[in-house]
Amino acid sequence: MNKKIYQVAAITALIFLSSCLSSLQRLVTYTTVTTDNRIIGNWQYEDLPIKIESIPGSHFYKEVLASVSTPGEKKSVYDSKEDSMLYTKSYVVDFSKGGYRYYMACSLIRLGNEIFADIEPIEVIPLNNPTAKDVDDLFHGGSYISSHSIAKVVFRENETAFRFLNSDFIRDQLKNGRVAIKYEKDDLFQTSLVTSSSRDLQQFLIKYGNDERLYSKENTVTLKKI
């Protein structure tokens, strides 16, 4: 979608988790995206209500269309044909926390018998009478590039679990050269950013996606249907 709404850093870890690995490249591409409408609905995570919708039918997408004034602008909501093919099969996660309303894009991929999600930030809006300046300051206060969080998705009756990759385990494997994926280490913040291509990420999960060491209870977000 239009890049002006993708200028914030990944916030999944800040909102839900204490430890969450980020990737510079997306896991899911327009050629590999799949749909599973079991993810759609109204959910609860602890005390946080969360709504997940298909992007084309979502409140967020309708707001984007309403914010542009000409037919030409509406046609260019997506940056490219490839973006359109990806996001028309993706979902938007919508929730409010700490005085802000968050929107995240969630794209699904099936690898073997498992489903994985690529989650990236779309937009953050102040809830208390936001003005155009508030939003402009939020998105343009520095130089940002969105990163991607990756989770294994497990559907159960009346709940959906997002098992985010265990960054501590993967960092240990990277440090010891046990996995062949590219990454950059930030010593200041003690974080690692995976820089491998989408294809390499997919191959990594095909090989290791069933290894329980990739996941942990602390890195699992379980949504309850409401």
| Domain tally, the chain | 1
pLDDT of 10: 44
For 57-106, how does the pLDDT look when each residue is reduced to its tens digit (9 = 90+)? 999 998 888 877 666 555 556 778 899 999 999 999 999 988 888 899 99
Q: Could you write out the three-class secondary structure of 117-184?
A: EEEEEEEEEECCCCCHHHHHHHHHCCCCCCCEEEEEEEEECCEEEEEECCHHHHHHHHHCCCCCCCEE
Is the pLDDT at 12 greater than 70, yes or no?
no
Q: Is residue 190 part of a domain?
A: no
Closest CA to 108 of 179, 11, 205, 212: 205
Any domain includes 51:
yes
Asked if 146 contacts 4 with a C-beta cutoff of 8 angstroms, the reply is no
Instruction: Quote the pLDDT of residue 2.
Output: 43
Residue 100 counted as domain residue: yes
Rounded to whole angstroms, the maximal C-alpha distance in the chain is: 54
Domain that holds residue 114: 3-166+216-225
pLDDT of amino acid 166: 80
- Does 137 or 195 have the greater pLDDT score? 195
Residue 145: which pLDDT band, with cuts at 50, 70 and 90?
low
| Chain segment 200-212, per-residue pLDDT in tens | 999 989 988 998 9
Please tell me which residue, 177 or 222, carries the higher pLDDT value. Answer: 222
Sign of CA dihedral 183, 103, 100, 152: negative
Torsion 153-185-189-11 (CA) sign? negative
Q: Is residue 193 part of a domain?
A: no
Domain membership flag for residue 204: no
Examine residue 11 and state whether it is found in any structural domain, yes or no.
Answer: yes
**Is there a domain that residue 197 lies in?**
no
On whether residue 84 sits in a domain, the answer given is: yes
| Residue range 177-185: mean pLDDT, rounded | 71
The structure's pTM equals 0.82
